[in-house]
Amino acid sequence: MSNEVTTNANSATATYDAVIVGAGFAGMYMLHKMRGLGMTARVFDAAKGVGGTWYWNRYPGARCDVMSHDYSFSFDDELQQEWEWSEKYATQPEILRYANHVADRYELWPDMQFETRIASAAFDDDANRWSVLTDQGEVISAQHVVMATGTLSAAKEPDLPGCETFAGETYMTSKWPHEGVDFTGKTVGIIGTGSSAIQSIPIIAEQAAHLTVFQRTPNFSLPAGNCPTEVAFITDLKKRYPSYRQEAKESFFGVPVEVTEECALEAKQSERNAKYQAGWDTGSLVGVLGAYADLLFDKEANDTAAEFVREKVRATVNDPELAELLCPDDYPFGTKRPCLDTGYYETFNSEDVRLVDLRKTPLVSMDGAGISTTDEHFDFDVVVYATGFDAMTGAVTRVDISGVGGKKLVDEWVGGPQNYLGLCVAGFPNFYVVTGPGSPSVLSNMMVSIEQHVEWISDLMEYMRDNDKSTIDPTPDAQEEWVRHVAEAGDSTLYPLANSWYMGANVPGKPRVFLPYIGGCGPYRETCDEIAADGYRGFALA
């Protein structure tokens, strides 16, 4: 079946048990689970196909930084046995093929509608149902609304004064053209040094005549050590998937790793560096960060790991001044999302690559020819925006959502997201956010967190049906308590010290709140399961 579906708007008002917003992994699995319950659902997505983030983010070098076998569904053993990943870290095209395979395998296509954005969802207090409006003018009536909208899907649009006057080509990493971009012989500028930039810069630099990188905040990046899948490893793993997956579910980050209780400051420097080196050599996000138990809690401990990584940058970049510019020094290691790269720092040894430090010379404006900082004007053929997302809340608040009594979700969340378990919002019955703020979400392997939320929501839908309940709504007290707990957990770590998208700090005017829940995947799952087993404690079922 085709992976690009063009759909015309239906004229009649449709009725479903659920509207699912988003056809990424969360939306597809939600649909599959609901079908298993004999319930009806329709998935809507603005894209022309499935895949969510992997549909849009097609920039050069885009790949997952969670290992392929971990970044895979585990709910069906046949699926995980038959699928073969070709690399340790799968590329965007390979992950998109996997997403299409899932849609084909479970014959999801007839219940998914593409090129359709959900404009609004309003809870009808009399009917106890949601009335959902698409940008095609369709109205859908549904008992449940599931926001499977992704955490990093609402892109920050370019806002540099004069950006609309630039006469050259412009691209956003998060909306990359399907046909690709040929940078050969071109003078290119890229704004941003987050994961998207760090993955694309080495490849753009290889093609372009010259690349200028505009950096506001340097990022910690570690080498991915990507390689083809090791056949012996994966053959063995496939035999022990059940226990491996169970370990992942119980783990802190949704990836089975050895947990240590050792503290960095209790070890000698030589021991520490040996441990950090071993972590570095794993080529994974948790290799160095997981070396000691106190790295995310104690600044002095964290400094030892941060300095280890900075030394690696200094050893890689030939020009010492340039190396210092690339070394983060004003936030703890790991508190802004670290990156995995292939040849990122090495790229800056090329004469055709220049780094502009926006902390010294901020961006001022754009014109027809290029970009101006406070110090200089740069002419470009192409400008790439790798400027990130309104993370975790943006994709939810960009839909006009109103709950009981017409109250708006944007108003409820004006001081930061309010919800219970990171899943449901008081006053918005039968409304669920998959991997929402207040859940482990972006601090975990998303596949594990997606499966956990989708299974919890579908169990709840089944419970409601079997117990003749038409609505579920968290109590304001339970919600308040959860929000406080999430904040306290965040405050016990070093995360609040960074101006990161975890804190909402990258979006002007966004409240400064630590968005994900740092309680760990395993303990969080236990809490959710206990609450369900206790008759959905903290929820009002009617």
* Footprint on residues 163-192 left by ligand N01 (CB under 6 A): 173, 191-192
The residue range among 57-65, 72-80, 425-433, 484-492 that interacts with ligand N01, by the rule CB under 6 A, is 57-65
In this structure, the number of other CB atoms found within 10 A of the CB of residue 277 comes to: 14
**Inter-residue contact 422 to 413 (CB < 8 Å):** no
* Least Cβ distance, residue 198 to ligand N01 (angstroms): 7
Q: Which of residues 461-500 bind ligand N01 (CB under 6 A)?
A: none
Q: Which is nearer to ligand N01, 32 or 156 (CB)?
A: 156
Q: In whole angstroms, what is the distance from residue 542 CA to residue 521 CA?
A: 30
């970044």: which residue's tokens?
A: 71
Burial status of residue 250 (CB atoms within 10 A of its CB: 0-12, 13-18, 19 or more): middle
- First-to-final CA distance of the chain: 41
> Does 446 sit near ligand N01 (CB under 6 A)?
no
Cβ pair 368, 166 in contact under 8 A: yes
AA identity, residue 476? P
**Bridge partners of residue 420, in order along the sequence:** 424
Query: What would the x/- binding string for ligand N01 be over residues 342 to 381, using CB under 6 A?
Result: ----------------x----x------------------
CB-based closest residue to ligand N01? 194
Least Cβ distance, residue 196 to ligand N01 (angstroms): 3
Residue in the block written with tokens 């609040």: 496
CA 99 to chain centre: 16
Per CB under 6 A, 433 contacts ligand N01: no
Q: Is 48 in the site for ligand N01 (CB under 6 A)?
A: no
CA dihedral for 195, 303, 279, 311, sign (positive or negative): positive
Among 16, 501, 517, 524, binds ligand N01 (CB under 6 A): 501
Should residue 402 be labelled a site residue for ligand N01 when binding is judged by CB under 6 A?
no
Q: Which of 24, 189, 388, 522 binds ligand N01 (CB under 6 A)?
A: 388
* 387 sits near ligand N01 (criterion: CB under 6 A): yes
Interacting residues of 533 by C-beta distance below 8 A, sequence separation 6+: none
* Single residue of 506, 513, 514, 524 touching ligand N01 by CB under 6 A: 506
Q: Is the dihedral of CA 488, 493, 498, 502 positive or negative?
A: negative
Take residue 393 and report the two structure tokens written for it: 């809340």
Nearer residue to ligand N01 within complex by CB, 68 or 458: 68
Q: Please identify, among the stretches 306-314, 387-395, 417-425, 532-540, the one whose residues bind ligand N01 according to the rule CB under 6 A.
A: 387-395
CB of 159 to ligand N01, least distance (A): 6
Binding track over 214-253 against ligand N01, x by CB under 6 A: --xx------------------------------------
β pairing state of 221-223 and 339-341: parallel
- Phi-psi domain of 151 (left: phi exceeds 0; alpha: psi -120 through 50; beta: other): alpha
Q: Which is nearer to ligand N01, 153 or 452 (CB)?
A: 153
For the sheet with 370-373, list strands across it. Answer: 363-366, 370-373, 377-379
| Segment near ligand N01 (CB under 6 A); pick from 385-393, 428-436, 514-522, 523-531 | 385-393
**195 is a contact residue toward ligand N01 (CB under 6 A):** yes
Site size toward ligand N01 (CB under 6 A) is: 25
Buried b (16+ CB within 10 A) or exposed e, 391-409: bbbbbbbbbebbbeeeeeb
Q: In the complex with ligand N01, which residue's Cβ is closer, 173 or 444?
A: 173
**Which range in 259-267, 294-302, 348-356, 384-392 contacts ligand N01 by CB under 6 A?**
384-392
For residue 152, state whether it binds ligand N01 (rule: CB under 6 A). Answer: yes
Tokens of 81: 């046995």
Binding interface with ligand N01 (CB under 6 A): 63-65, 152, 173, 191-197, 199, 216-217, 337, 358, 363, 386-389, 442, 501, 506
